[in-house]
Structure 1
Amino acid sequence: MTLAQLQTGDLVRARGREWIVLARPDEGLLRVRPLSGSEEDAVTLAPALEREPVESASFGLPSAEQLDSQDAARLLADALRLSLRRGAGPFRSAAHLGVEPRAYQLVPLLMALRLDIKRLLIADDVGIGKTIEAGMILREMIDRGEIDRFTVLCPPHLVEQWVGELAEKFDIDAEAVTSARARSLERGLALSDSIFTAYPYTVVSLDYIKAEGRRDEFARACPKFVIVDEAHSCVGGGDRGNQQRYALLERLAEDAERHLLLLTATPHSGNQDAYARLLRLLHTDLAGGPDSPDPNAVARYRRRLAGHFVQRRRPDIEAQWGDASAFAKALAADAPYTLTGDFLAFQEDVLDYCVGIATRADGERARRLAFWGTLALMRCVGSSPAAAAAALRNRLGGMAEESALEPILFDEDEGTLSDTDVEPATAAEDEETQALQDLIARADALAARTGEDPKFRELIRQLKGLIDKGARPVVFCRFITTAEAVGVALAAAFRKHRVETVTGRLTPEERRARVAAMHDHPQRILVATDCLSEGINLQELFDAVLHFDLNWNPTRHQQREGRVDRFGQPSEHVWSVMMFGANSMIDGAVIQVITEKARRIAKETGVTVPIPEDSASVTSALMQAMLLRSNRPRAQGTFDFGQAEAQLETEWRDAEANAKKSRAIFAQGALKPEEVLPEWQGMRALTGGPEEVERFTKRALDRVGAPLGQEGRYWRVHYDRLPEQLGERLKARGLTGARAIDFADKPRANVAHVGRVHPLVAMLAENMAEGALDPGGRDGDAPLGRAGAWLTHGVEKATTLLLMRLRFTMVTSGRANNTLLAEEATALAFTEDGDVASGPKALALLEAEASGNIERTVIARRVAAAIERVPGYDVAIRAYAQERAGVLRSDHQRVTKAAGGGATTDVQPVLPADIIGLYVLIPEAR
């Protein structure tokens, strides 16, 4: 065969070893992978420039000199299967997944497969698994050869989390691009290069890239595949940051060839304009809604949108997909407490002060600002004496701006609540100064009496109850000073626990490091502000949320709980406790005006709606409710609030109607469970489940002299006992010392999940497969042999079993029109009478325990005789390879049909097949 005739899947010899041809990227070039190597070892050859000729090659049979035991045969079979990364099934990404996807998580992937240009808005509920769904699409696109570069755009505090998720769950190493790291990444690049051309896989901070200068450079070099996380933070109106982010996304979307995945749990947050901007990024025709109110036009619009939009709520998953086991059981409770004595009087006195200021306000704007200032201050007072003292001190600083007050009042700041202790004040007049200083002194005094604070005493009571149930709680506070005070007090009250406090004073990297440091402390309590309420995943370390402060925005409340109540939570239960003052005018007003209304809508529609956009009516209704709940009669009837309560009630009803409409129009119904479930089950069978991974890992660690230790129903791996080269490679991935592990999908807290792409499994499989094919391999002094013979009760006739690697070419139609290499580990077993077992049935013969020993000389003679019979099996091997190609073609066609269309795939075997191992099974006389 000449070089010009070489195709994907052929074998060549170059540089003293054999290689598999992966592709011909250009004229005169070959992309190849070592026959005994991994994907990381792939290189591009220019045959004309090689010192030694590049020649066609063939795979050598095992020999009678490569003998080993039945255990080695089992290990080699599992190592071969687990080390292959170019799966032949319809989901090319299956072999790279480090997470067991649920059936419902396949829906976005199937939707993407039928689109030439993948543009999706994935708007599943908090905690359902949007990152996994987007990552599966990304991984599939890479493995199908449709993209070779991508970027993830996300808020800065999520960059490191995305990098970690891509590595752990999708076997993708991406570079983090932030303000802090950009300069080091640019160092050494040519003037014509940028970070985004030099590094094919990137996770980029939106705040870093949105600036005009960087935005232009990024738009020019941006990859063709982009994921935008927390996409709702890019499409709001108003502030300059949102405008810059949306201008960037608009420019990226202008390229009609660019794939775009938008992720958000709140696509329709009551702002119709923002929602339209999101849809416009998918396609300009989607932004304006149906062409007319005609039912046919509405139906056409819904069908078109359904191809780009997927939104499922937790009840959808549990009811429609029958998959309640994907999530822990949520247990929610309220925890009222009663203010007494000085703590109650202080709230009333601060309100007196604020009412006096509002009464003297001159003009509508001044009055509105006074109301907002009052609510902001009273919110701090309701949080804690420490927050009250900080807010009162800030009030001495001067004027407040409406634009600064509104985000603090209604939690509209999208995930960047880093200054939550700042209370912008109304003007401080001369006569106010002494009164303010008196209130500050009283707040300081109350802050020093934490043990007497009814709110803190209730917190202790609730935490003890949760801890007695085995829970590991997160205490969410609204203000930094509150969180810091609570953290100090809890550390004193729970001395056996590791108590950490995470607030906006810390950088995103410091927050993540502080949380991660709690991993080795089973008894743990985290105190946090809302800087951790969006995007940061806490489910592996915590299973309870205690709301120390009422949240004034229902969606923010949901986001807090979504940090622990989410896919991947190992506990059977998650707890949520909402604290509030039963006789607090502040909490009472919020519950009346906001909380109860939002709860009712969520119960009836299944959708958590945000606070209505008309902040003026919300402010007036809150002020009115608070004054009416005051214990002092002089506070009632002070102001005329007009029809504020009635107007707000109308807005809540509108929000409920919109939520119902959204559920009716935009809920995903294009793909049904019965269409997706077979493909999910096929994926499980293809990748090898937890049982296979556990079996291989135990046997492999026994082989290298570092057996797993038993730890109850879990295991302990000792990374420091592994062979030096393997141990060093794992150390580079942060795996050292002794770690508790489990192979089940949902291990308990403090136990690491080990799946097929976990570094321990992947490296063991690669080392053992490579060592067998190249005895001078990478690690270990005793590579696996490729041949053997043993006595067994598992067969009735003498049987020759061939462990094989089948190679296939997969040619996809449509825009991509790629030719890809696929590989499959399998086996054929032949008796002397001509009977044949194939695939799983043949592999199962390796598991029947050997029943007796055979002399090594007899084994060598049996193996040598079997090797001489191999040419006679050639017809059967070719027929089986053709049969497997036909089955794979059918699998691909079935997935294409389930997805509703898309590229077709033709599968053809590359022959001859590679015979990796040869084993003779001799029946034991009974």
Structure 2
Amino acid sequence: MNDAFIDFAAGALIKARGREWVVLPQSEKDLLRLRPLGGSEDDIVTLLPGLELIPPHTATFEWPNPQHAGTHDAAMLLRDALQLKLRAGAGPFRSFGNIAVEPRAYQLVPLLMALRLPTVRLLIADDVGIGKTIEAGLIARELLDRGEISRIAVLCPPHLVEQWQQELQTHFHIKAVALTASSVNRLEREIPHGVSLFDHHPFVVVSLDYIKSERHREHFLAIAPECIIVDEAHTCATGGQGKQLRFELLQRLVVDESRHLLMLTATPHSGDDTAFHNLLSLLKPEFSTLQGAGVGVRKELREDLARYFVQRRRKDIEEWQDDSIFPRRMTKEVTYVLTGRWGRFFDEVQEYCIELADRTEKSSGQAARMIWYATLALLRCVASSPAAAEKALTTRLAGTIEDMESLADEERLYDGHADDLMTNDLEPAAQIEDVSRLQGLIDEARGLAGSEGDPKLAALIQHLKELLKAGFRPVVFCRYIATAHYVTHHLKRHFKDFTIDAVTGEFTPEEREARVFELGEADRPVLVATDCLSEGVNLQHQFTAVVHYDLAWNPTRHEQREGRVDRFGQKEPEVRCTMLYGQDNPVDGFILNVILKKAEAIRKELGVLVPMPEDEQRINQALIKAALLKRNRIKTDQMAFDFGDLGVDLKPIESQWHDALERARANRTVFAQRRLKPEEVLPEWRKQLTVLGGEQDVERFVRNASSRLNSPLETYKRKAYRLLPQHLPTALRERLEHEKIDKPVAIDFHYPPVTGAQFVHRSHPLVSLLADTLLESALTDDRPLAARAAVTVTTEVDVVTCIYLLRLRHQLSYVRRGETRHLMAEETAALAVRGRTNPEWLDEGNLQALLNVTPSANLSPELTEREIQAAIDFLKANNNQLDIMASSRAEALLADHRRVREASRDLGSYTVRPCLPVDVMGVYVLLPDTL
């Protein structure tokens, strides 16, 4: 047979075009996928053997050259470079070599659940801030690395598109494009003619607003990827027209029984049983019958549903030894009284509203009914700030029915529903009469600006003094844009030594993120924001406290604000959350006691927020009645508010809320996933860290490599460092520039990183490029930076000891759903032997100490070369030890896969075969120091 048509196995070493290559899976006789020996995944090529002048042929890896010996430190540098270069790791979780975050053990539970299912269909409903994005990314990356999928689409609300794109790239090395209504035309212009957008870009993050049009929806359905991730999945349940279209889209996607679907939400059940069961039906059609099923059938269905649905609170994670990763949330209430001119202004506006409403109600039609929304909107703006009051009073609301209805339709007055919170932070229009009639109120609002006339602002300033003195970095949440700018302006006057900025809906999502990042770089920042930041922008790396300057009228919004700071990745042990409210403001009193305190009591009892029932009519009536209460009827003790005389029966709302609490409690009993125990997951994760290298290994390698390359790291704040790429070798510097590392940058090797620093993990481009550079030098240079051979004289051994650094490749055959896939697994290992006359082969438990010995004397070049050659000759004479080790590692790898498969009840089977011969990467001799 012609060599050009040899069927090389995955993992085989061949020579072609004058260099050595490793054969990768998916290679065939007439088409080879190859990675250069010592190269990275970015260097993979496809080669057609039949077109080569010199056919590819089997190659063997060269032994180390005794004449190119280096130091002990250079030898250890090669060991670290080999370990951290591994991507197709040999462990049972294929994705771990390609992820840029160290997942916590509890975050592996959804991954194990996914491995149980022939087609992944999961609803991940973990609490806010636990890390659903990481859990979904792990599953998607695992499916990619197992060869089960090649394309992914994330469907999410528009404000989350950029965040998802960044998370996939940063943490999972998945380069996705953002597909929105504004970007699609540009993307289509950049692809070749006749090629589908989704074929050209295998990984996309799609705005749900983009996909809602019929043309885009049908096109997406025709070429949808094999794996779909849906974030904020509760917004795709039935309800309004938009939600119905989203639900129908998902229904049509899951018709393909082989398509994987991951749905993420922190609020799977927002009080609407029908919407909840519609979500469940996307996992499996029969789950839609749970709502009306009998006791026996319902029990069986719920047990089956537990395979597809995971929902955990923070307290559920304690048994995973991970409770310490979340900060303590310390809450506080700060009150103020509507005194002096501010109180009189509030009373005057209230009187004006009552007078206006009385006049309008005497007329007939929709305007009479809608006037209450206008007056309530004005009172909310007045309670927010003088600036918001002025804006509302000077913004004309025409008296037409259509304009008045828009006030309620746009929900500017409220905060939206639990499953669809709005982020519109514009002040509602409240000027109905001619402006001259209102000029006195407008002038009064302008005159109240500042802490002297505004007791609410004064209370905020005093509270911030306490927070900032204690070292906290606060976010102040306001309801309206005018309030945010007003607060920012006055805080800058009072806190001149701090960096203060406002981020509102006036900016694009990209601009918001940039402003937050820039502010987070400051030593003493204060961020003032509207609710445009309460979803989609994570603030845990830059900020440590939340102040609700304006009470949200929906408890879910409060939880989302606090969840931006109190979430996975928060480095501080404690975060502060403060509610600021008017002690004698009747609307604040109603919102606080009837809504927010009830929600907080449920959250403390259950461990998670249960959304408020959506009884709009009763809530509206109660709010309007509360707005009419005179301040002089309110006791100074906010807790003594008596709303029994509102004339609105609120007991049905309380009853609905209690029922929702009981349903949530029952659901969590079933879906907390207590069947998977920590002892089934933790050992595998720790073993993978040992094989692939953890944070300490990465830090040691980058520090040593940078020093070896004449660019030692500088110290930076709080145990972080600063990289100076301008001092690195030209070739490496050019590679780093391609990764946008072209100027000094702060780096941190521990997650979460300190503010202003990049988190450098094992798969960060810096680590990969340093490892590539050192390995290339070791294989090609006469005086390599990382040594393949070394002799170390040390007092820590009493007999000649040889350490052989090895690279092993295994062919992993994986059968699932009747389809066989061949994967390649690589690992770095070491083999050690004491003595040469009566050799004692050492087990792996002794290797770490031998690798970390301290040199105590130097050796001449002649003796060094002789000792290395002797060690090479010894191993060649005992070559069977390499084969024995390769077979032993293959058996251990197979056992690991079987153990994880049994723990997760993974469907499928594995076989593992070692690819021989083993590559001898390094030969290191330890000589006893007899002096």
Amino acid at match of 2:345: F
Aligned to 1:208: 210
The 10-residue stretch of structure 1 (486-495 or 905-914) with the greater mean CA deviation from structure 2: 486-495
Contact kept, 8 Å, 1:387 with 1:421, in 2: the verdict is no
Matched, 1:312 2:315: no
Q: CA distance change for structure 1 residues 301 and 435 in 2, over 3 Å: closer, same or farther?
A: farther
Write the deviation string for residues 756-810 of structure 1: whole angstroms up to 9, x where unpaired.
Answer: 122222221122123222439xxxx844332122212232222222111000011
Q: CA offset at residue 500 of structure 1?
A: 1.5
The residue matched to 1:910 in structure 2 has which SS? strand
Matched, 1:552 2:558: no
Distance in 2 of aligned mates of 1:161 and 1:732: 22
Q: CA offset at residue 270 of structure 1?
A: 1.1
Distance in 1 of aligned mates of 2:806 and 2:474: 51
Matched, 1:244 2:245: yes
Aligned to 1:401: 405
Match of 2:776 among 765, 770, 779: 770
Write the deviation string for residues 10-46 of structure 1: whole angstroms up to 9, x where unpaired.
Answer: 1111121111111234562111111120111111211
Contact kept, 8 Å, 2:87 with 2:97, in 1: the verdict is yes
Contact kept, 8 Å, 1:476 with 1:548, in 2: the verdict is yes
Could you state the TM-score of these two structures normalised by the residue count of structure 1? Answer: 0.94
Q: CA offset at residue 549 of structure 1?
A: 0.5
Distance in 1 of aligned mates of 2:728 and 2:328: 39
Distance in 2 of aligned mates of 1:210 and 1:638: 43
Aligned to 1:95: 97
Matched, 1:156 2:185: no
The residue matched to 1:518 in structure 2 has which SS? helix
Distance in 2 of aligned mates of 1:256 and 1:212: 23
Aligned to 2:344: 345
Aligned to 2:298: 298
Q: Which residues in structure 2 correspond to 1:112-131 (within 5 Å)? A: 112-131=114-133
Contact kept, 8 Å, 1:386 with 1:444, in 2: the verdict is yes
Contact kept, 8 Å, 1:863 with 1:920, in 2: the verdict is yes
Q: CA distance change for structure 1 residues 676 and 407 in 2, over 3 Å: closer, same or farther?
A: farther
Q: CA offset at residue 490 of structure 1?
A: 1.6
Match of 1:817 among 820, 839, 846: 820
Aligned to 2:201: 199
Distance in 1 of aligned mates of 2:705 and 2:712: 8
Q: What is the CA RMSD across the aligned residues, in angstroms?
A: 2.5
Distance in 1 of aligned mates of 2:519 and 2:727: 26
Q: CA distance change for structure 1 residues 756 and 840 in 2, over 3 Å: closer, same or farther?
A: farther
Q: CA offset at residue 510 of structure 1?
A: 1.0
Contact kept, 8 Å, 2:505 with 2:532, in 1: the verdict is yes
The 10-residue stretch of structure 1 (678-687 or 873-882) with the greater mean CA deviation from structure 2: 678-687
Aligned to 1:593: 594
Q: CA distance change for structure 1 residues 612 and 413 in 2, over 3 Å: closer, same or farther?
A: closer
The 10-residue stretch of structure 1 (827-836 or 649-658) with the greater mean CA deviation from structure 2: 649-658
Aligned residues: 913
Aligned to 2:829: 826
Q: CA distance change for structure 1 residues 301 and 436 in 2, over 3 Å: closer, same or farther?
A: farther
Contact kept, 8 Å, 1:415 with 1:530, in 2: the verdict is no
Contact kept, 8 Å, 1:408 with 1:420, in 2: the verdict is no
Contact kept, 8 Å, 1:808 with 1:821, in 2: the verdict is yes
Aligned to 1:886: 891
Matched, 1:755 2:758: no
Gaps of 5+ in 2: 635-640
The 10-residue stretch of structure 1 (888-897 or 24-33) with the greater mean CA deviation from structure 2: 24-33
Matched, 1:718 2:724: yes
Match of 1:144 among 140, 143, 146: 146
Aligned to 1:618: 619
Match of 1:694 among 691, 699, 706: 699
Q: CA offset at residue 413 of structure 1?
A: 8.2
Q: CA distance change for structure 1 residues 322 and 12 in 2, over 3 Å: closer, same or farther?
A: closer
Could you state the TM-score of these two structures normalised by the residue count of structure 2? Answer: 0.93
Q: Which residues in structure 2 correspond to 1:462-481 (within 5 Å)? A: 462-481=463-482
Identity across matched positions, percent? 45
Distance in 1 of aligned mates of 2:297 and 2:166: 44
Amino acid at match of 1:257: S
The 10-residue stretch of structure 1 (827-836 or 79-88) with the greater mean CA deviation from structure 2: 827-836
Contact kept, 8 Å, 1:211 with 1:244, in 2: the verdict is no
Q: CA offset at residue 607 of structure 1?
A: 2.6
Match of 1:76 among 52, 75, 78: 78
The residue matched to 1:153 in structure 2 has which SS? strand
Aligned to 1:730: 736
Distance in 2 of aligned mates of 1:844 and 1:765: 23
The 10-residue stretch of structure 1 (726-735 or 574-583) with the greater mean CA deviation from structure 2: 726-735
Aligned to 2:920: 915
Contact kept, 8 Å, 1:400 with 1:425, in 2: the verdict is no
Matched, 1:59 2:58: no
Q: Which residues in structure 2 correspond to 1:431-446 (within 5 Å)? A: 434-446=436-448
Distance in 1 of aligned mates of 2:815 and 2:67: 46
Q: CA offset at residue 225 of structure 1?
A: 0.9
The residue matched to 2:721 in structure 1 has which SS? strand
Distance in 2 of aligned mates of 1:347 and 1:236: 41
Q: CA distance change for structure 1 residues 439 and 253 in 2, over 3 Å: closer, same or farther?
A: farther
Distance in 2 of aligned mates of 1:638 and 1:602: 23
Aligned to 1:286: 287
Q: CA offset at residue 367 of structure 1?
A: 5.6
Distance in 1 of aligned mates of 2:608 and 2:520: 34
The residue matched to 2:178 in structure 1 has which SS? strand
Q: CA offset at residue 640 of structure 1?
A: 10
Match of 1:874 among 879, 883, 891: 879
Write the deviation string for residues 672-711 of structure 1: whole angstroms up to 9, x where unpaired.
Answer: 3332222332233233222211221221111001112234
Distance in 2 of aligned mates of 1:488 and 1:190: 51
Contact kept, 8 Å, 2:778 with 2:788, in 1: the verdict is yes
Q: CA distance change for structure 1 residues 918 and 415 in 2, over 3 Å: closer, same or farther?
A: farther
Q: CA distance change for structure 1 residues 260 and 407 in 2, over 3 Å: closer, same or farther?
A: farther
Contact kept, 8 Å, 1:564 with 1:574, in 2: the verdict is yes
Q: CA offset at residue 336 of structure 1?
A: 0.9
Distance in 1 of aligned mates of 2:440 and 2:139: 60
Aligned to 2:32: 30
Matched, 1:134 2:133: no
Distance in 2 of aligned mates of 1:450 and 1:291: 58
Amino acid at match of 2:675: A
Aligned to 1:521: 522
Amino acid at match of 1:646: K
The residue matched to 1:886 in structure 2 has which SS? helix
Amino acid at match of 2:46: T
Match of 2:167 among 159, 165, 168: 165
Matched, 1:537 2:543: no
Q: CA offset at residue 632 of structure 1?
A: 6.9
Gaps of 5+ in 1: none
Write the deviation string for residues 37-67 of structure 1: whole angstroms up to 9, x where unpaired.
Answer: 0111111211112233111212111122322
The residue matched to 1:343 in structure 2 has which SS? helix
Q: CA offset at residue 713 of structure 1?
A: 3.6
Matched, 1:651 2:656: yes
Amino acid at match of 1:763: L
Amino acid at match of 1:288: T
The residue matched to 1:297 in structure 2 has which SS? helix
Contact kept, 8 Å, 1:121 with 1:263, in 2: the verdict is yes
Write the deviation string for residues 721-767 of structure 1: whole angstroms up to 9, x where unpaired.
Answer: 22223233333334344344332334443344322122222221122
Distance in 2 of aligned mates of 1:288 and 1:364: 44
Amino acid at match of 1:851: S
Q: Which residues in structure 2 correspond to 1:658-669 (within 5 Å)? A: 658-669=663-674
Distance in 2 of aligned mates of 1:424 and 1:288: 46
Matched, 1:807 2:825: no
Distance in 1 of aligned mates of 2:7 and 2:355: 90
Write the deviation string for residues 830-878 of structure 1: whole angstroms up to 9, x where unpaired.
Answer: 2312211244633542211122111101111222232223322221111
Q: CA distance change for structure 1 residues 25 and 372 in 2, over 3 Å: closer, same or farther?
A: farther
